[in-house]
Each structure stands twice: as structure tokens, then as C-alpha cells.
Amino acid sequence: MKKKYSFFNIIKNSLSHNENWEKMWRSPEPRKFYDIIIVGGGGHGLGTAYYLAKEHGLKNIAVIEKGWLGGGNTGRNTTIIRSNYLWDESAHLYEHSLKLWENLSTELNYNIMFSQRGVMNLAHNEHDIKEIKRRVSANKLNGIDSHWIDPKQIKKLVPIMNTENLRYPVLGASFQPRGGVARHDAVAWGYAMRADEMGVDIIQNCEVKKIRTKNGKVQGVETSKGIIRAKRVGVVASGHTSVLAETAGIKLPLQSKPLQALVSEPIKPVINTVVMSNAVHAYVSQSDKGELVIGAGTDGYNSFTQRGGYNIVEDTIRAIVELYPIFGKMKMLRQWGGIVDICPDASPIISKCEIEGLYFNCGWGTGGFKATPGSANLFAHTIAKDKPHSINAPFNLERFVSGRLVDEHGAAAVAH
């Protein structure tokens, strides 16, 4: 049954105090066997199931989630979307994603509140200027709408920014107008709803404990709701991907670290773009509710606890207050951490592995949200065809043997 959201629909349901909206997706008990199991019910996992059903016409698919949908990093990021990456491989990957973002609300008939308000990456020293200008030029060659702006133009876009009287003055920035933000929960919910309509079983509160393999072939998964057999298994479990891979005897070059974010009390609109700074390490945007959404760097040690240390919060707030003195008296409402899986080259892995029928989509590190539709789309292609799409072919596991890395530490914007 196709759920349609319309103006009429909203009026009708408001008459009954919004108590009679139908459920957005079913909560089925798992079957004994699926053709494809996706482990991880975040945006990437749900999107993968959606594209498998929609673009590849596949049936008998399940998404298995340990907690609730979008309760991991999908609901913990700072929702920034951009595609201004340095290398051709990444530029193609993130631009593929950005193009899908631009049509996603229409495609899902679900408002994901995608707002192309622009993303600014600040330069604070000579090296930053050179690095960012180089990146802008690389972006232009790849058809990405990135350009260099000087402090005057920055002041025009963000009048509250202090560009001169600070320890690391703002000397310029790259600006990508097509970048922006989206409502992260809505992305997971939209994909979940439409995948469910096409018959995908979404199983929440079901922890995958082991990936079963036999003679180099995947057999299925052991879960807290019993053994589920499958022909193909795709693992998209962010911080826990390497732990699950280990149960199948696969070692992935990932390190799991907490990445923190925080939001302030809501205020009137003061900043209508996204500003990121790699050097002083803080990024900020304002949500539609009026809260400042502030991102920090990763904590410097491996951990699976979703909290992180206060010294990171302190460093970030220090930078924010210096850049925007107007925020000095504001109160922060919430702080949290998400466990990100970081690759040695700060680029993801969307790849097959030595076990037949087992696929990994991981290593998104600190920048996975922006890639959600693209990553899901390409991962679905990789699983359906049993070979990578030309866009994700460079993001294979073999690059850690061949040495052909896609080094995006500069464009990743978060220090690792």
C-alpha cells in the first residue's frame, strides 16, 4: 500500500488530533531465509535495501538493526552535505550522492528537509589557503560548484563571524552553494517506509552476533532472534563493522573512535549557511528549530562508548566562541558521541571480500551522512551485480595491499 503525504492528508489527520496516522512500516518477525540481509538499519543500510528493491527489482530482503532505525550515526551526525572532495574518485562518489540528495524528497515523497544553504570551509593560514585553493580548482575540474571567497565576501554571508581579531584570523574560504543540510532522521524514515512498501522486512531490536560462513561462502547470520540464513549479506554497521567482520574471519583496516557533536538552546536565525573550519576545528550550522548544531573532532583513542571526553567539547567551544563572539553567553543543551569507523586514508570501503556473498560498506569515518544516498545506491549495485559500480570500484579492500589509496585527510574536515 502506497502511503502518500499531501496537504489534504495532513488536514484530514489533524482533525483527529494526528492519532490515526497509519504505521510507516511493519515490524515483522524475521523469516528463516532471505536472499539478501543488510546488517545495520541506518540511512546507508535502509537506502541499500530501498535501491536493491527499486533499481534492481530484487525481493526477499531484510534489514537487521541492533537498536532502532537511525539510532546510530544516522541520528548523531551534524547533517552536513557537500561534495567538495579533492581526488577524482571521491569527487565522483560524493557528487553522485549530492545529485541523489537533490531529488530525494520527491523520490521518496517524504520531506527530508534538504536545504542547500551552502557550505563554507575556512582558511586560517598560508597552508590552508594553498590547500583549499588547490581543492577548489580540483573541484571545478570535476564540475563541482566550489569557489574561493575572500574575508569580505565571508563577512557578507556570515556577518556575525569575527574574521580579524582572533589568534588564527580568517583569510578566506571555499564555498559550495549546492551543499547544505538535511533532516537526518527523515532520511532513515523515508528510505525505511519506501523499502517496506516494496516488501523489505525491517527487523529492529535484533542484534547480529555472528556472520556464518562455510567453505568461503556466506551462509547467513546468527542473531538475538535466532539463525537467519541468507545468500548474500551486506554489512553497513559503521563503528561495529570491523567487530562483525572479525566473526567471519575478515580483518578490516578500521579503527572505531567516538565523534562528538552538541546543540545549543534555540535562538532566532543568525547563521544561514554551514561554516566549517579544519584548522581551529569547529563547525556550526543552525537547525530549523533554531539550535546551533556544533561538531567537534574525534576523540584520539579507540572506543565504543558513545560519549567521548569533555576536553574535545572544550576545544570546540573555545574555537566557536572566538569565531562567533555573539555565541559567548549561550547554553548548550545536549552533547553526544557516535562511534565512527575510520580508514587509514579517510576514504570509505564499498567492497566485496574474499568470502563469496559477503559485502562491506564501511570506513565512512567522520563524513558518512553526506554520502547516504550515493553510498546506498552504489552498495546496492555492488550486491545486486556482485561487482562494484565504476564509481565505487576504487574504494575496494585491495587498496590496502596495492597502496593505491584515496587520501582525503584534507577534505575530510575532521582531524583524525
Partner 1 sequence: MLLINCPYCGERDQSEFTNGGEAHIARPKNPESISDEKWGEYVFFRSNPKGIFHERWVHSHGCRKWFNAVRNTSTDEILKIYKLDEKAPETKDFKNTLNSPSGEPDLGSGNFTVKK
CA 241 to chain centre: 15
Distance CA 63, CA 204 (A): 8
Q: Does 249 bind partner 1 (CB under 8 A)?
A: no
Residues in the chain: 416
Contact 357/214 with Cβ under 8 angstroms? no
Q: How many CB atoms lie within 10 A of CB 127?
A: 10
Residue 381 makes CB contacts below 8 A (sequence gap 6+) with 51, 55, 56, 388, 389, 392
CB of 90 to partner 1, least distance (A): 18
Q: Does 151 bind partner 1 (CB under 8 A)?
A: no
Q: Which stretch binds partner 1 (CB under 8 A): 99-107, 123-131, 241-249, 365-373?
A: 241-249
Contact characters 390-409, partner 1, x per CB under 8 A = ----------xxxx------
Which one of residues 111, 155, 168, 309 is an interface residue with partner 1 (CB under 8 A)?
309
Contact characters 193-222, partner 1, x per CB under 8 A = ------------x-xxxx------------
Distance CA 296, CA 226 (A): 39
Q: Which stretch binds partner 1 (CB under 8 A): 107-115, 142-150, 296-304, 378-386?
A: 296-304
Give the CA diameter of the chain.
65
| Alpha-carbon torsion (153, 183, 295, 271), positive or negative | positive
Report which DSSP code applies to 69.
Answer: T
Q: Which stretch binds partner 1 (CB under 8 A): 195-203, 287-295, 305-313, 386-394?
A: 305-313
Nearer to partner 1, 107 or 207 (CB): 207
Nearer to partner 1, 67 or 151 (CB): 67
Which one of residues 68, 140, 217, 226 is an interface residue with partner 1 (CB under 8 A)?
68
Using the CB atoms, write b or e for 273-288: b if 16+ within 10 Å: bbbbbbbbbbbbbbbe
CB of 312 to partner 1, least distance (A): 9
Nearer to partner 1, 172 or 308 (CB): 308
Q: Give me the residues that bind partner 1 (CB under 8 A), please.
A: 66-68, 71-72, 205, 207-210, 224, 237, 240, 242-244, 246-247, 251-256, 300-307, 309-311, 344, 400-403
